[in-house]
């Protein structure tokens, strides 16, 4: 009979899977703490990895950490573990985002359907390449929407005027960022031949967006791809035609605030893992979410959905290269 008592090595494996989650600019804004005796694993926000200009409320930070938490749950389920999961357990400590309690008789909920998503954690990648025009089948869309519902969120697929409007808002935000410059983008961009003081060098980087992940520049098409290197010419980068009619998904929650941001992040990751398992390439586009005046315009006023937490791009195409991660020893503290 499983006891659900976990050793250090299992905690390390769980954290490795958690840290494979997507995060804004690959900042990986998380740390973990495993209490051996108490058999609890904490997920904490890393205050050194916040983005004051593009994410002043830490919404995107919570979304990324919500994705990491979903991976933790999937990794635990895959190992036959059913921890009790508590979100934001201490109002006096808002940086403590979640606690997972392991050990016998904890009474956590078994999540066998999450175990089936575990295999996709290592395969999921953000792709900034063009996708083909092949439509995502309706049955796959329905499965992905069901994944989001499991996390209390919704996934909708904008079409017609709403799709055009969402694309316009993202283009507008992308232009604005290009015009003004975005210090957060600059901080996390990793180029091989960085100009002094402009962007951190790529050598040995364990975080940030690497040159190989940029994808080509957009010649034509309407795919909402963020151009991280907008101010920095990158030798040999090239350009390409992207989808004329991109296939987007919008993750929304009922309310807003840290709990919903974590839930929205979990829903996003569940959708991304489901899409990866179904053979889709995926990308994220949050330019318009980073500007409060544009964020509120993203939602479909004719639908019942609440605040938008994420815009995804789905389709058939190259998966994108693996992005680096900080080693587990740097993000996990093990206490007696």
What residues make contact with ligand FMN under the rule CB under 6 A?
22-26, 60, 63-64, 67, 125-126, 128, 209, 226, 283-287, 320, 323
Taking the least distance from each CB to ligand FMN, the nearer of 31 and 287 is: 287
Q: How far is the CB of 120 from ligand FMN (least distance, A)?
A: 12
Taking the least distance from each CB to ligand FMN, the nearer of 93 and 212 is: 212
Q: Is 325 left (phi over 0), alpha (psi -120 to 50) or beta?
A: beta
Q: How far is the CB of 61 from ligand FMN (least distance, A)?
A: 8
Q: How far is the CB of 140 from ligand FMN (least distance, A)?
A: 20
The CA-atom distances, in angstroms, between 246 and each of 56, 167, 263, 285 are 29, 9, 26, 12
Q: At what angle do helices 258-277 and 138-150 cross, to 10 degrees?
A: 150
Q: How far is the CB of 125 from ligand FMN (least distance, A)?
A: 4
Taking the least distance from each CB to ligand FMN, the nearer of 306 and 324 is: 324
Work out the end-to-end distance of the chain between its first and last CA atoms, rounded to an integer number of angstroms.
25
Q: How far is the CB of 1 from ligand FMN (least distance, A)?
A: 37
Taking the least distance from each CB to ligand FMN, the nearer of 40 and 58 is: 58
Taking the least distance from each CB to ligand FMN, the nearer of 258 and 320 is: 320
Q: How far is the CB of 90 from ligand FMN (least distance, A)?
A: 24
Q: How far is the CB of 60 from ligand FMN (least distance, A)?
A: 4
Taking the least distance from each CB to ligand FMN, the nearer of 120 and 284 is: 284
Taking the least distance from each CB to ligand FMN, the nearer of 64 and 83 is: 64
């Amino acid at each position: 009979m499983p006891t659900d008592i976990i050793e250090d090595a299992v905690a390390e494996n769980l954290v490795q899977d958690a840290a494979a989650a997507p995060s804004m600019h690959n900042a990986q804004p998380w740390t973990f703490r495993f209490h051996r005796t108490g058999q609890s694993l904490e997920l904490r926000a890393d205050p050194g990895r916040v983005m004051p200009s593009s994410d002043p409320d830490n919404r995107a930070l919570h979304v990324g950490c919500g994705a990491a938490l979903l991976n933790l749950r999937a990794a635990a389920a895959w190992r036959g573990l059913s921890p009790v999961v508590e979100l934001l357990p201490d109002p006096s400590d808002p940086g403590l985002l979640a606690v997972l309690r392991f050990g016998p008789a904890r009474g956590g909920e078994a999540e066998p359907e999450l175990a089936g998503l575990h295999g996709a954690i290592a395969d999921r990648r953000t792709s900034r390449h063009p996708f083909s025009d092949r439509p995502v089948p309706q049955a796959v869309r329905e499965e992905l929407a069901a994944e989001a519902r499991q996390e209390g969120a919704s996934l909708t697929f904008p079409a017609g005027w709403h799709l055009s409007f969402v694309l316009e808002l993202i283009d507008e935000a992308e232009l604005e960022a290009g015009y003004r410059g975005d210090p957060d983008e600059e901080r996390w961009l990793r180029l091989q031949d960085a100009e002094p003081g402009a962007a951190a060098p790529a050598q040995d980087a364990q975080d940030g967006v690497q040159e190989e992940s940029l994808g080509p520049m957009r010649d034509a098409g309407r795919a909402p791809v963020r151009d991280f290197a907008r101010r920095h010419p990158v030798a040999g980068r090239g350009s390409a035609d992207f989808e004329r009619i991109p296939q987007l998904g919008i993750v929304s929650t009922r309310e807003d605030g840290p709990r919903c941001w974590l839930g929205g992040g979990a829903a996003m990751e569940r959708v991304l893992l489901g899409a990866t398992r179904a053979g889709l390439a995926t990308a994220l586009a949050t330019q318009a979410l980073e500007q409060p005046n544009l964020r509120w315009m993203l939602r479909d006023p004719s639908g019942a959905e609440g605040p938008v937490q994420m815009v995804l791009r789905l389709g058939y195409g190259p998966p994108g290269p693996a992005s680096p991660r900080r080693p587990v020893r740097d993000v996990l503290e093990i206490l007696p």
